[in-house]
């Protein structure tokens, strides 16, 4: 037990299916070399989207599960299963080790749009509800990831999905850590998953929040850069295995990192414009729980999505916490696009990959700051020094903020 009778929380497994790749080596290479996962989807232009830019999952084989198993799963739930399987393998946790009440599942997910569309189409086409099929109800719920993983992995503890827009994945990991810290779970398989289909993105595109820099998809997403013009929607699934530190040590697991702190806050202001202090309160809270001072953080993995207002607000919040001397900062969405519900969890996986593989990814496409994003120590080139003490931010529509402090050394 740590101070105040609370347990320490270790990271023992990670897994990911993203537009940068479907395994840790491929994703690590993309992060190190600055390889973008963003493409043009011509269908979006034909359909009347403002922006055809999107992340894309390539070379993923859904037949890791049977057709019957997949009947109740949208594609992103299958991605979540693949990432969970890889994370559990890395953690060295067997099926028998997780089929118990001390193992939980918490994923961030805030939509399952495609299934809702398909079930309505099926009804209209067939003229009776029994023609919709048995899988659509389970595919269409926002808890589809955790309910399906629970039946596949046979865990018997916590099992729910958490919805908080683009901070869903961050809060899912934070809440999972809190359950372990409080002694209510010994390990939690947690993360985030995000669909990527055009149906789920059309109304967001209509807000004018997406980049329209279509000439070169790899440079379209420009977090903190003066010429940023919007985000690029993306998706996938990310899983982190969190485990009570003492139990992980006892079983001889390789400890990849320690989750030292989780802070949350909400703005209580506007739907789509982040507040001046909301994210800073989450960062302060995470730092406080971690026991670290702000100047002990050596890398900040920013939420920055490349929207003009959002990046400026995050920059202001970072300056509010760190003052004139910020840690090294990069925004990985330059390469991945905005993985929305998944993004807060993906950041934990990406930073763990960097720590494991020995580098810190640059903030690609950043050339110069503007008045709003000035004063940050933005990493312009990939650094051979890996992240040590890290702060990961995520923020969502409505002003819901998550910050996680992780120690890799």
Partner 1 sequence: MTEAEVIELIDSSLAEEFELDRADMGPTANLYEDLGLDSLDTVDMVIVLEGAFEFKIREEEAVRAIRTLDDIHRFVLAKIEQES
Contact pick of 68, 95, 250, 293 for partner 1 (by CB under 8 A):
68
- Residue 387: strand, helix, or coil: coil
Task: Give the whole-angstrom CA distance, residue 180 versus residue 192.
Answer: 18
384 binding partner 1? (CB under 8 A): no
Contact pick of 3, 59, 67, 271 for partner 1 (by CB under 8 A):
67
Do 266 and 241 touch, CB atoms closer than 8 A?
no
Which DSSP letter does residue 229 get? -
Burial 366-392 (b: 16+ CB within 10 A, else e): beebeebbebbbbbeebbeebbbbbbb
Task: Give the whole-angstrom CA distance, residue 401 versus residue 263.
Answer: 8
71 binding partner 1? (CB under 8 A): yes
66 binding partner 1? (CB under 8 A): yes
206 binding partner 1? (CB under 8 A): no
- Please provide the DSSP assignment of 60-117 as one string: --GGGS-HHHHTT--HHHHHHHHHHHHHHHHHT--HHHHSSTTEEEEEE----HHHHH
Question: Which residue, 133 or 358, is less far from partner 1 as judged by CB?
Answer: 133
In the complex, the smallest distance separating the C-beta of residue 320 from partner 1, rounded to whole angstroms, is: 52
| Cα separation values, 142 from 70, 194, 409, Å | 16, 11, 36
**Number of CB atoms found within 10 A of residue 142's CB:** 18
In the complex, the smallest distance separating the C-beta of residue 112 from partner 1, rounded to whole angstroms, is: 18
Binding piece for partner 1, criterion CB under 8 A, among 62-70, 241-249, 286-294, 370-378: 62-70
Question: Which residue, 134 or 384, is less far from partner 1 as judged by CB?
Answer: 134
Question: Which residue, 47 or 64, is less far from partner 1 as judged by CB?
Answer: 64
Question: Which residue, 68 or 325, is less far from partner 1 as judged by CB?
Answer: 68
Question: Which residue, 139 or 228, is less far from partner 1 as judged by CB?
Answer: 139
Which residues make beta-bridge pairs with 189? 105, 241
Residue 50, phi-psi category: left (phi > 0), alpha (psi -120 to 50), beta (remainder): alpha
Set 19, 171, 221, 303: catalytic member: 303
Set 109, 190, 221, 338: catalytic member: 338
Question: What is the footprint of partner 1 within residues 210-229 (CB under 8 A)?
Answer: none
Based on the residue annotation, tell me whether 338 is a catalytic residue of this protein: yes
In the complex, the smallest distance separating the C-beta of residue 407 from partner 1, rounded to whole angstroms, is: 45
Task: Give the whole-angstrom CA distance, residue 285 versus residue 106.
Answer: 21
CA angle in degrees (0–180, nearest 5) for 313-259-379: 45
In the complex, the smallest distance separating the C-beta of residue 115 from partner 1, rounded to whole angstroms, is: 15
The four Cα atoms 350, 353, 355, 358 give a dihedral, to 10 degrees, of -120
Binding piece for partner 1, criterion CB under 8 A, among 31-39, 63-71, 162-170, 234-242: 63-71
Question: Which residue, 4 or 134, is less far from partner 1 as judged by CB?
Answer: 134
Can you say how many angstroms the Cα of residue 7 is from the centroid of all Cα atoms in its chain?
24
In the complex, the smallest distance separating the C-beta of residue 137 from partner 1, rounded to whole angstroms, is: 9
Which residues make beta-bridge pairs with 242? 11, 188
Mark 127-146 with x for binding to partner 1 (rule: CB under 8 A) and - for no binding.
---xx-xxx-----------
Question: What is the footprint of partner 1 within residues 73-132 (CB under 8 A)?
Answer: 130-131
In the complex, the smallest distance separating the C-beta of residue 132 from partner 1, rounded to whole angstroms, is: 9
* Structure tokens given for 168: 């869903």
In the complex, the smallest distance separating the C-beta of residue 68 from partner 1, rounded to whole angstroms, is: 6
Based on the residue annotation, tell me whether 113 is a catalytic residue of this protein: no
In the complex, the smallest distance separating the C-beta of residue 83 from partner 1, rounded to whole angstroms, is: 24
Binding piece for partner 1, criterion CB under 8 A, among 52-60, 66-74, 86-94, 247-255: 66-74
Binding piece for partner 1, criterion CB under 8 A, among 31-39, 65-73, 269-277, 301-309: 65-73
Task: Give the whole-angstrom CA distance, residue 200 versus residue 47.
Answer: 13
Question: Which residue, 122 or 247, is less far from partner 1 as judged by CB?
Answer: 122
Binding piece for partner 1, criterion CB under 8 A, among 61-69, 295-303, 333-341, 363-371: 61-69
For 201-343, strand residue ranges (E) read: 236-244, 257-266, 299-301, 328-330
Question: Which residue, 10 or 112, is less far from partner 1 as judged by CB?
Answer: 112
Sign for the pseudo-dihedral over CA of 264, 18, 332, 232: negative
Set 19, 166, 190, 392: catalytic member: 166
**Active-site residue list:** 166, 303, 338
Q: Which residues bind partner 1 (CB under 8 A)?
A: 66-68, 71, 130-131, 133-135
């Amino acid at each position: 037990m740590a101070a105040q009778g609370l347990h320490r929380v270790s990271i023992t497994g990670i897994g990911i299916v993203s537009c940068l790749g479907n395994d840790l080596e491929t994703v690590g290479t993309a992060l190190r070399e600055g390889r973008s996962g963003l493409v043009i989807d011509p269908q979006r232009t034909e359909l009347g989207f403002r922006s055809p830019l999107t992340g894309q999952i390539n070379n993923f084989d859904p037949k890791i599960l049977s057709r019957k198993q997949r009947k109740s799963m949208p594609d992103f739930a299958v991605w979540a299963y693949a990432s969970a399987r890889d994370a559990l393998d890395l953690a060295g946790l067997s099926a028998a080790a997780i089929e118990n009440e001390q193992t939980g599942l918490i994923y961030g997910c805030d939509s399952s749009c495609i299934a809702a569309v398909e079930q309505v189409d099926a009804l209209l086409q067939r003229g009776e509800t029994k023609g919709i099929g048995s899988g659509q109800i389970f595919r269409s719920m926002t808890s589809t990831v955790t309910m399906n993983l629970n039946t596949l992995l046979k865990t018997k503890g916590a099992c729910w999905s958490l919805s908080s827009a683009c901070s869903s994945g961050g809060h899912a990991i934070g809440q999972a850590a809190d359950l372990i810290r409080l002694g209510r779970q010994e390990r939690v398989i947690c993360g985030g998953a995000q669909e990527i289909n055009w149906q789920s993105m059309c109304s967001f595109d209509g807000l004018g929040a997406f980049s329209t820099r279509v000439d070169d998809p790899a440079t379209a997403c420009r977090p903190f850069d003066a010429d940023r013009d919007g985000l690029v929607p993306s998706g996938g699934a990310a899983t982190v295995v969190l485990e009570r530190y003492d139990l992980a040590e006892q079983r001889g697991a390789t400890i990849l990192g320690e989750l030292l702190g989780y802070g949350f806050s909400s703005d209580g202001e506007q739907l789509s414009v982040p507040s001046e202090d909301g994210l800073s309160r989450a960062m302060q809270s995470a730092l406080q729980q971690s026991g670290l001072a702000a100047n002990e953080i050596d890398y900040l993995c920013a939420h920055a999505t490349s929207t003009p207002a959002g990046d400026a607000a995050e920059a202001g919040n970072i300056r509010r916490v760190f003052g004139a001397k910020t840690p090294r900062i990069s925004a990985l969405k330059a390469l991945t696009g905005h993985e929305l519900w998944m993004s807060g969890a993906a950041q934990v996986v990406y930073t763990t990959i960097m720590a494991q593989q020995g580098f810190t990814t640059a903030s690609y496409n950043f050339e110069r700051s503007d008045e709003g994003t000035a004063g940050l120590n933005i990493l312009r080139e990939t650094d051979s020094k890996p992240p040590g003490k890290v702060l990961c931010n995520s923020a969502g529509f409505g002003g819901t903020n998550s910050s996680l402090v992780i120690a890799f050394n």
